[in-house]
Structure 1
Amino acid sequence: MTFKMLCLDIDGTLLNSNHEVSLETKHAIQTLPKDFPVILVSARMPKGIMFLHKELQLKTPIICYSGALVIDVARNGSYQPILNISMTLPQMKNIYQQAKMKHIHIGFYRDDDWYVEDMDDWATQEKDIAKTNPTVIDYEGLFRILGDSHNGANKVLCMGKEEEIESLESSLKNACDGELTIYRSKPTYLEIMHHTVTKTSAIRFLQRKFNLKQHQIIAVGDNFNDIDMLQYAGLGVAMANAPEQVKQIANEITLSNDNNGVAKVIQKYLL
């Protein structure tokens, strides 16, 4: 079977535990033909991905916010959106109210902007991981701004203690009645997008752009928000550091993110 597109999750997959791309993984990616679509697929905002995209010398589209925003490299070298899906302002307000009642940190992401109400420990932690800086703003003011633009957030990120996040996830799923995509990207992180948004929906969008078949796609990931794309791809590969539930649905398990698992997949199937 000939594979013609590689979709890579970032955290826990492409990046090792030091949040870096190893030399072996970088070399494997850069050994692929220049026109081979290596697609970075992440819940991160564009700023949190573009520096890695440039480091790897890629010229292909990027899937941000788990599929809510897809950007591509224009002729002038700038990044331009080619797919942009946002939630409504009432949905944002409802999430905010429920998270606030549970004393959970909440951040809003729209286009390439990240908004927080204050720089608490959660915001500082995310800033250090994603190497991006949020805008600190009163959320009532933010809601007024977004209300005028008629364009809500691409993603909401809630961070808190594991039991608090579980409680919020349950209450939101009961309240939203399928109007939102809600999942935990780690035990303490809850990610929320428009109900049509998944990593797979964005991959399908790019699949049409590159005129590829489903069986020609390899997807590699390590967490629950990667399950849908691992199941969709012709070859779904879970990292050795993935939870057991993710490994169980994968076609194959590669080495961990600290042992160049992505490089091993490329070497086995693409080189």
Structure 2
Amino acid sequence: MKDVKLVLCDLDGTLLDDNKNVDLDIKNIVLKKNLLFTLVSGRNLGQVLTYVDALDIKIPFITNNGASVCLGKERLYGLFIDRHCIEDILMFLMNYNISFLVNCDSGVYSYGQDSLIQQFKLRSIGKCPVFDAVPISSLVEENIEKIIMSHPDDELMTEISNILNDKFPKTHCVRSEGRAFTLTNKSASKGSSVRWLLDHLGIEKEHVIAFGDNFNDISMFKSVKYSVAMDNAASEVKRNAIYITKSNNERGVSYFIEHYVK
């Protein structure tokens, strides 16, 4: 691949290993090959900034599953969940005992005790304000970028996702990490924000390669010429990628760029 100018990379399950350690080798590899590099993550701004700083990323990056494109702490592009349906969505989740996190401008709001949601909550502590179980009515005026939800019953969560997509047509719910699902504005996705970013940078998709491992990365794959799934990715994700690299625990991103991007 001699025509690549920009590398787009997911974090969890891709650039991060299973212990959440970042592959710092990527920094020198892209520098040596004179490539632009940025992150396209489901994580919120505070969490992503940690890796932006560690990797010395100077161009815009994508957060909240495509709901925002940011440069430093500045939001360049953002899509929010319709305020008119926020209360109904959150009450629906509570009625089914679904644990969830609400990500918005003022911080992260946590509801329920599901272990995965608690894990996600811990990621935000120290990076942005974190609140527990405030009244739902207090969130209806917030700019909400995403709602992360989880329940131990995977079949139930899949059913809940389908119901949400039918019941609230202005939103979109998709599996994002492990058994977690993420709900955003229907127009927000990694793919849509990648297209905005490429236009902003003046780079055509023919010069872009993207790495990912989960279902929310598929729309990103479809927005660039070269798509690479991690070996640890789900089968459906691999089917939607052109190439497959080593796993996230084997530095699959660095390996592929080092050996196949000229």
TM-score by length of 2: 0.90
Q: Which amino acid aligns with 1:268?
A: H
- Residues in 2 aligned to 1:174 and 1:227: alpha-carbon distance in whole angstroms: 21
Aligned to 1:46: 45
Structure 1 residue 268 displacement after superposition: 2.8
Aligned to 1:266: 257
Aligned to 1:10: 11
Structure 1 residue 61 displacement after superposition: 0.9
Q: What's the secondary structure of 1:19's corresponding residue? A: coil
Q: CA distance change for structure 1 residues 206 and 257 in 2, over 3 Å: closer, same or farther?
A: same
- Residues in 2 aligned to 1:30 and 1:92: alpha-carbon distance in whole angstroms: 43
Q: CA distance change for structure 1 residues 118 and 158 in 2, over 3 Å: closer, same or farther?
A: closer
Which runs of structure 2 are paired with 1:80-91 in the superposition (5 Å)?
Answer: 80-91=74-85
Structure 1 residue 28 displacement after superposition: 2.4
Which runs of structure 2 are paired with 1:156-195 in the superposition (5 Å)?
Answer: 156-161=147-152, 162-177=154-169, 179-195=170-186
RMSD across aligned positions (CA): 2.0
Q: CA distance change for structure 1 residues 45 and 232 in 2, over 3 Å: closer, same or farther?
A: same
Q: For the Cα contact (< 8 Å) 2:62–2:68, is it kept in 1?
A: yes
Greater CA drift, 151-160 or 222-231: 151-160
Q: For the Cα contact (< 8 Å) 1:30–1:57, is it kept in 2?
A: no
Aligned to 2:231: 240
Structure 1 residue 26 displacement after superposition: 4.3
Q: Deviations over 1:140-172 (max 9, x none)?
A: 3523xx43xxx5311011111212211211211
Q: What's the secondary structure of 2:42's corresponding residue? A: coil
- Residues in 2 aligned to 1:167 and 1:64: alpha-carbon distance in whole angstroms: 26
Aligned to 1:76: none
- Residues in 1 aligned to 2:226 and 2:12: alpha-carbon distance in whole angstroms: 20
Q: CA distance change for structure 1 residues 187 and 91 in 2, over 3 Å: closer, same or farther?
A: farther
Correspondence for 2:87 among 93, 110, 123? 93
Which runs of structure 2 are paired with 1:38-117 in the superposition (5 Å)?
Answer: 38-73=37-72, 79-111=73-105, 113-117=107-111
Identity %: 25
Q: For the Cα contact (< 8 Å) 1:68–1:86, is it kept in 2?
A: yes
For the pair 1:199 / 2:199, whether they are aligned, the reply is no
Q: Deviations over 1:18-61 (max 9, x none)?
A: 1011343444245453xx43120011101111011111111111
Greater CA drift, 196-205 or 163-172: 163-172
Q: For the Cα contact (< 8 Å) 1:3–1:269, is it kept in 2?
A: no
Q: For the Cα contact (< 8 Å) 2:105–2:143, is it kept in 1?
A: no
- Residues in 1 aligned to 2:148 and 2:79: alpha-carbon distance in whole angstroms: 16
Q: CA distance change for structure 1 residues 171 and 136 in 2, over 3 Å: closer, same or farther?
A: same
Q: What's the secondary structure of 2:222's corresponding residue? A: helix
Structure 1 residue 206 displacement after superposition: 1.2
Q: How many residues are paired up? A: 258
Q: What's the secondary structure of 1:99's corresponding residue? A: helix
Q: CA distance change for structure 1 residues 14 and 71 in 2, over 3 Å: closer, same or farther?
A: same
TM-score by length of 1: 0.87
- Residues in 2 aligned to 1:65 and 1:226: alpha-carbon distance in whole angstroms: 12
- Residues in 2 aligned to 1:249 and 1:121: alpha-carbon distance in whole angstroms: 30
Greater CA drift, 260-269 or 60-69: 260-269
Aligned to 1:20: 21
Q: What's the secondary structure of 2:29's corresponding residue? A: helix
- Residues in 2 aligned to 1:50 and 1:59: alpha-carbon distance in whole angstroms: 11
Pick the structure with more helix per residue.
1
* Contiguous gaps of at least 5 residues in structure 2: none
Aligned to 1:37: 36
For the pair 1:135 / 2:134, whether they are aligned, the reply is no
